[in-house]
Chains A and B, each alone.
Chain A
Amino acid sequence: MRILSLAIIFLMLSKTFVTSEQIVLGLSQDEVAITANFDGSQILLFGAIQRDAPEPDGKMGVIITIAGPSKPIAVRKKEKRFGIWVNNQTVEVDAAPSFYAVATNAPFSEILLDVEDLRNKISIERAIRSVGAPMHIEDSQSFTEAVIRIRKDQKLYQLLESKILVDRNTLFRTAIDMPANLTEGDYFTQIFLTRDGKIVSQFDTTIDVKKVGLERFLFNLSRQNPLIYGLMSLAIAIFAGWVASSFFRYIRHT
């Protein structure tokens, strides 16, 4: 009974603690449209911390994460066979976000405790989950690391330490660059406010990334009506080839 009441008090305390500081967020855009000349996008995130009490003590941290849709991927490792390098071992990584960016206002380890990271899966390493690697593969860890390394190279995974600017401990803003090869879907965006490494407030929103216009039409048609798409591709290609060559014949004859 005593334990229960303690727990209730603790809950109430933590609740009041949470509400004393709150995040209010603004986004430069909540939609990213992939068009024909899409070569990446920059998203501006800005917000304020609302307080109904004087600012508590402790080092304040702001962490922003953007996670693209998670899809299982096959990670393949090349090995030398008969003198050439061929894909040999395959490990399935069950859930790896197609895009993941973490921005902070200070070095990551200074503003987030490891337990909080473990619970909320904030750092890039924790955001990727790999279970069920086949038993015969010894270092399945290296496959997960490869996902992070390759996607970091492609700017699909980004750790942006100290890239959030905080003004007078209330206003914050950052810009996150998204590369051209984005996967369509809802990009889950989270903002965490921390005090001494503990999360005190959290704000969630989504950014919609989608192909629009012709790009969307072609992509959808190719998946939903592949036969019609194929016939259309042939017709367009033949027509374009015919027009171009008759145009040149016309030029040569005049």
Chain B
Amino acid sequence: MPSLDLAVVAIDLCVFIKLSETMQIYLPIAEVSVNAFLLLGLGGFVGVLSGMFGVGGGFLMTPLLFFIGIPPAVAVATEANQIVASSFSGALAHLRRKTVDLRMGTVLLSGGLIGAVLGLYVFNYLKALGQVDLLVKLCYVVFLGIIGSLMFVESLNAIRRSRSETNVINRTNRHKGLVHTLPLKMRFKTSGLYISVVPPLAVGILVGILSAIMGVGGGFIMVPAMIYILGMPTKVVVGTSLFQIIFVTGFTTLLHATTNYTVDIALAVLLLIGGVIGAQIGTQIGAKMQAEQLRILLSLVVILVCLKLAMDLLIEPAELFSLGKLGT
């Protein structure tokens, strides 16, 4: 009886909408009142994407929080807090499977901590000037733009290649020159590498800066850098980056909490619950779809968010004035 089912669903939907109308939740730190189901839904949506594509999702969640009216400073700090939690269970699983290069992770981590301090210094300096919203949004436009379009072109090419059935995999010459000429060499047993610590340290610093300014884990930068620049085996890349992300975003959360008071735990928990549920659904969907199609879809979402942010900066705003607190 499909019509009856439909009716039941419709009634459920009505009940849900009625409920959601009254489910306003007051966020104690952001000091705004937001619909709890909207937050759960946002967490769920990004969770589905992160489950489907195996990405952290911080780089999508933070701009979405801007769009629903969470102050950017709160969005960045809270998102860092949420990423700690969502990476934690993933990293545990990788530790159990021994697919974490702890030594490499520690080097990346040291860079990350330095980067987080640098990033927070810039963040707070611009906050005092009243330009922090601009800084965060500009960073997002630039990074989402680059990553979205690279991913789009990459997956288009991949589809074209798979259609022409040539399957030329060109992975003979990675650029290993720089990594091998720099001093301070160290042996990384798990990765089977003997390279200088300077490049991983630099990658760590860059990711730390991004984490502090944008409220992201930085996996989308770190994973390609580990594969193409450091030449790490793919097997240990994800676990090692998750290991680094937990500590760097945790450190960033503490820095934001102690200097800006912008970590909203109520917001973080709601997003987290939605995110965990979403990720379960996303993994199921991801297993049934083809990788290239998935990547094109994700790149389109990324480009869309980037365009929306860019429009906000380019189009003359309806209200030229904004109010801010003094001395913060």
Known: A150-B319, A237-B81, A241-B89. A218 touches B130 (CB 8 A): no
Whole-angstrom distance between the Cβ of A238 and the nearest chain B Cβ: 5
Known: A36-B26, A36-B266, A39-B26. A237 touches B84 (CB 8 A): yes
Q: Which of A54-62, A72-80, A199-207 contacts B (4 or more CB under 8 A)?
A: A72-80
A92: interface (CB < 8 Å): yes
CB neighbours (8 Å) of B254 from chain A are: 227, 230-231, 234
- Asked if residues B250 and A234 are in contact (CB atoms below 8 Å), the reply is yes
Q: Which residues of chain B from 1 to 40 have a CB within 8 Å of any chain A CB?
A: 22-26, 28-29, 31-33
- Asked if residues B261 and A223 are in contact (CB atoms below 8 Å), the reply is yes
Size of chain B's interface in residues, with CB distance under 8 A?
54
Whole-angstrom distance between the Cβ of A186 and the nearest chain B Cβ: 18
- Asked if residues A233 and B316 are in contact (CB atoms below 8 Å), the reply is no
Whole-angstrom distance between the Cβ of A241 and the nearest chain B Cβ: 3
CB neighbours (8 Å) of A229 from chain B are: 257, 263, 265
With CB as the reference atom, state the residue of chain B lying closest to A216: B28
Give CA–CA (A92, B130) in the complex, Å. 12
Interchain CB contact (< 8 A) of B276 among A72, A180, A245: A245
Q: Which of B159-167, B226-234, B320-328 contacts A (4 or more CB under 8 A)?
A: B320-328
A87, A147, A246: most-surrounded residue (chain B CB, <10 A): A87
CB neighbours (8 Å) of A187 from chain B are: none
CB neighbours (8 Å) of B125 from chain A are: none
CB neighbours (8 Å) of B84 from chain A are: 234, 237-238
Q: Which residues of chain B from 82 to 108 have a CB within 8 Å of any chain A CB?
A: 82, 84-86, 88-89, 92
- Asked if residues B277 and A244 are in contact (CB atoms below 8 Å), the reply is yes
B314: interface (CB < 8 Å): yes
Whole-angstrom distance between the Cβ of A94 and the nearest chain B Cβ: 9
Interface flags, A24-56, vs B, CB<8A=1, else 0: 000000000011111110000000000000000
Give CA–CA (A80, B317) in the complex, Å. 10
Whole-angstrom distance between the Cβ of A149 and the nearest chain B Cβ: 8
CB neighbours (8 Å) of B133 from chain A are: 87
Give CA–CA (A79, B81) in the complex, Å. 34
Whole-angstrom distance between the Cβ of A157 and the nearest chain B Cβ: 12
With CB as the reference atom, state the residue of chain A lying closest to B83: A237
Give CA–CA (A246, B89) in the complex, Å. 8
Q: Which residues of chain B from 250 to 267 have a CB within 8 Å of any chain A CB?
A: 250, 253-254, 256-259, 261, 263, 265-266
Q: Which residues of chain B from 294 to 328 have a CB within 8 Å of any chain A CB?
A: 313-317, 319-326
- Asked if residues A37 and B314 are in contact (CB atoms below 8 Å), the reply is no
Interchain CB contact (< 8 A) of B323 among A73, A222, A244, A248: A73
Whole-angstrom distance between the Cβ of B41 and the nearest chain A Cβ: 16
Size of chain A's interface in residues, with CB distance under 8 A?
59
A84: interface (CB < 8 Å): yes
CB neighbours (8 Å) of B92 from chain A are: 242
- Asked if residues A236 and B32 are in contact (CB atoms below 8 Å), the reply is no
- Asked if residues B314 and A85 are in contact (CB atoms below 8 Å), the reply is yes
B209: interface (CB < 8 Å): no
- Asked if residues A233 and B134 are in contact (CB atoms below 8 Å), the reply is no
With CB as the reference atom, state the residue of chain B lying closest to A233: B265
Interface flags, A191-224, vs B, CB<8A=1, else 0: 0000000000000000000010011101100110
Give CA–CA (A37, B130) in the complex, Å. 31
CB neighbours (8 Å) of B317 from chain A are: 78, 85
CB neighbours (8 Å) of A241 from chain B are: 85-86, 88-89, 272, 276
Give CA–CA (A222, B266) in the complex, Å. 12
- Asked if residues A237 and B82 are in contact (CB atoms below 8 Å), the reply is yes
- Asked if residues B33 and A73 are in contact (CB atoms below 8 Å), the reply is no
- Asked if residues A233 and B325 are in contact (CB atoms below 8 Å), the reply is no
Known: A83-B314, A234-B254. A244 touches B324 (CB 8 A): no
CB neighbours (8 Å) of B258 from chain A are: 226-227, 230
What are some 27 contacts across the A-B interface (CB < 8 A)? A34-B26, A36-B25, A36-B26, A38-B24, A40-B33, A73-B326, A74-B130, A75-B323, A76-B322, A77-B321, A84-B314, A85-B315, A85-B316, A87-B133, A147-B323, A150-B322, A150-B323, A181-B33, A230-B253, A233-B263, A234-B81, A234-B253, A238-B85, A240-B85, A240-B273, A241-B276, A244-B273
By a beta-carbon cutoff of 8 Å, the part of chain B in contact with chain A is 22-26, 28-29, 31-33, 81-82, 84-86, 88-89, 92, 130-131, 133-134, 138, 250, 253-254, 256-259, 261, 263, 265-266, 268-269, 272-273, 276-277, 280, 313-317, 319-326
